[in-house]
């Protein structure tokens, strides 16, 4: 009973119509009780002094009817109007909050919301940063409308490929971020690789063009006690390496870096035709 009579209301609860009606009913009930208390405190003394124009029993009856019909009804109507006003404010605030956390083109979370999700991660999970390969060339060749279609299509694939335990966001431009949770590391990597292969094997149809696209990805792991910024920086470096190694691939931070650098050094000769060497490559790529 005490909980039902409490007038404390969470502002967010007013987004539900039922809560608005409950709030108005509580206010009406409280108004009736308050009116009854006032009647009980004033009518008997007036009757004792002979100041009532009617008998004491009639005065109490009239007072009770007045409290229900006037106090309860008026209070309920005013509370109902106030409740629906707060409901509109709540819905407007919720819509504004959603827009402030959502990328308008893709419908995914934006960088701000993704950063907040990263900060909340606890336990084992993987951070993936995807980037659409040669996206500028797609815009230049097919136009920005096709570029937008590519972003939308990639967003749809990422959304369908990862379950509700994961977090998918567009970080800006052609870059996407995914937090993959709830699986052993090897299974997470298999799913990430499957997404890359799925996108590479399905051209995007836009503005009458069939546009073949690929994505590259960098993966780093959340480990209890590890700094979240370090995880993000490591995933970003892995993405950079996947681009340098030829694109359309996913590189995990704990893969054999020596082997990766060796392959990169052989595939990227300097101006004099010599291999850069792994140490120089690491310095050149800031890793």
If you average pLDDT over residues 62-85, what whole number do you get? 67
Q: Among 215, 169, 225, 164, which residue's Cα sits nearest to residue 192?
A: 215
Alpha-carbon torsion 104, 109, 112, 113, what sign? positive
Phi, psi of 104 (to 5 degrees): -70, -35
Q: Please check the confidence at residue 10 and state whether its pLDDT lies above 80.
A: no
| Beta bridge partner(s), residue 128 | 178, 219
Q: Does residue 226 have a pLDDT over 80? A: yes
Question: Given this model, what pLDDT does residue 281 score?
Answer: 41
Looking at the predicted structure, is the pLDDT value of residue 200 above 60? Answer: yes
Which of the residues 95, 97, 164, 174 is marked catalytic? 174
3-state secondary structure of 251: strand
Q: What is the DSSP string of 129-180?
A: EEEETTHHHHHHHH-HHHHHHHHHHHHHHHHHHS-TTSEEEEEETTEEEEEE
Short-list 206, 78, 70, CA closest to 138: 206
Location of structure tokens 């870096």? 257
Query: Is 164 annotated in the active site?
Result: no
Number of H helices, E strands in the chain: 11, 7
Task: Give the pLDDT score at 217.
Answer: 97
With a cut of 70, say whether residue 282 has pLDDT above it.
Answer: no
**Which has the closest alpha carbon to 273: 262, 284, 265?**
265
pLDDT of res. 154: 97
The answer to whether 253 touches 169, Cβ cutoff 8 Å, is no
- Model confidence band, residue 96 (pLDDT cutoffs 50, 70, 90): low
Mean pLDDT of 259-268: 52
Beta bridge partners of 236: none
Report the pLDDT value the prediction gives residue 4, as an integer from 0 to 100: 38
More confident residue, 114 or 6: 114
Query: What is the pairing mode between strands 250-252 and 215-222?
Result: parallel
First to last CA, the chain: 64
Structural domains in the chain, sorted by start: 2-101 (no CATH), 111-255 (3.30.70.270)
Strand 167-172 relative to strand 204-206: parallel, antiparallel, unpaired?
A: unpaired
- pLDDT at position 55 is 66
Q: What is this structure's pTM?
A: 0.62
């Amino acid at each position: 009973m005490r909980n039902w009579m409490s007038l404390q209301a969470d502002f967010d609860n007013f987004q539900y119509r039922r809560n608005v009606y409950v709030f108005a009913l509580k206010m009406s009930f409280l108004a009736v009780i308050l009116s009854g208390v006032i009647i009980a405190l004033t009518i008997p003394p007036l009757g004792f002094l002979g100041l009532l124009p009617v008998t004491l029993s009639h005065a109490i009856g009239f007072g009770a009817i007045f409290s229900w019909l006037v106090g309860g009804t008026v209070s309920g109507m005013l509370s109902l109007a106030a409740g629906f006003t707060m409901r509109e404010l709540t819905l407007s605030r919720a819509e504004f909050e959603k827009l402030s956390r959502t990328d308008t083109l893709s419908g995914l979370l934006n960088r701000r919301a993704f950063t907040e999700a990263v900060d909340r991660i606890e336990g084992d999970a993987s951070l993936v940063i995807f980037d659409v390969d040669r996206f500028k060339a797609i815009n230049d060749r097919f136009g920005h409308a096709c570029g937008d279609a590519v972003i939308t299509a990639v967003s749809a694939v990422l959304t369908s490929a990862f379950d509700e335990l994961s977090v998918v966001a567009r970080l800006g431009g052609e870059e996407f971020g995914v937090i993959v949770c709830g699986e052993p590391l090897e299974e997470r990597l298999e799913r990430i690789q499957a997404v890359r292969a799925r996108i590479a094997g399905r051209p995007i149809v836009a503005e009458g063009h069939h546009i073949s696209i690929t994505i590259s990805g960098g993966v780093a792991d959340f480990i209890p006690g590890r700094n979240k910024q370090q995880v993000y920086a490591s995933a970003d470096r892995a993405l950079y390496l996947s681009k340098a190694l030829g694109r359309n691939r996913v590189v995990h931070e704990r893969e054999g870096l020596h082997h990766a650098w060796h392959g990169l050094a052989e595939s990227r000769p300097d101006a004099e035709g010599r291999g850069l060497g792994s140490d120089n490559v690491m310095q050149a790529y800031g890793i």
